[in-house]
Amino acid sequence: MSSEFVIVTGDEVIVGPPELPPAATYTILPATPLPVSGSSPHVRVHGLPACLPDDIEKKLTATFTYVAGAFTTPGNGTISFELEDACKTRKTADTSATGAGAPLVISGGEFVAKFTFKKSAQDSNGALDPDRKPNTSKNGTASFKTPTKNTVLRLA
């Protein structure tokens, strides 16, 4: 039997930058960790709504800026998230009409932070970063931080 925290409003997502090719810095706006807002109308933990997968995968986004090597004029883009199966309950779900039987989100390990570039960083001559072209994506990692008073969900 394993035990995981149910992710609720007030918990946070910590984002790690894409690894390859490395950039000198990534600044995530608003600053990381990113606050989570749960939408389950019926599942609450200590009065806080539990998170459904769409709360993370469709509603939680952030912007970022970056510089890389000689490309010191910042580029930017957006971050979205893709949960792994280990971050979703298998048997326990929000069975309300609004939740439609969706699994709950649990702190089941790392998941994908997808960095989609909108504007490439530039060097002092205006040349664009060839490794991070507009409308391309690179994956980083994300994980949950549970600073709220939370409850462990025991899974069989």
Give the global pTM.
0.84
Domain boundaries, the chain: 2-145
Instruction: Round the average pLDDT of the chain to a whole number and report it.
Output: 85
Strand ranges (DSSP E) for the chain? 2-5, 12-16, 25-29, 34-35, 44-45, 48-49, 62-68, 71-82, 88-94, 102-105, 111-119, 137-145, 152-155
**Which residue ranges in the chain fall short of pLDDT 50?**
1, 97, 154-156
Residue 148 pLDDT: 62
Residue 153 pLDDT: 52
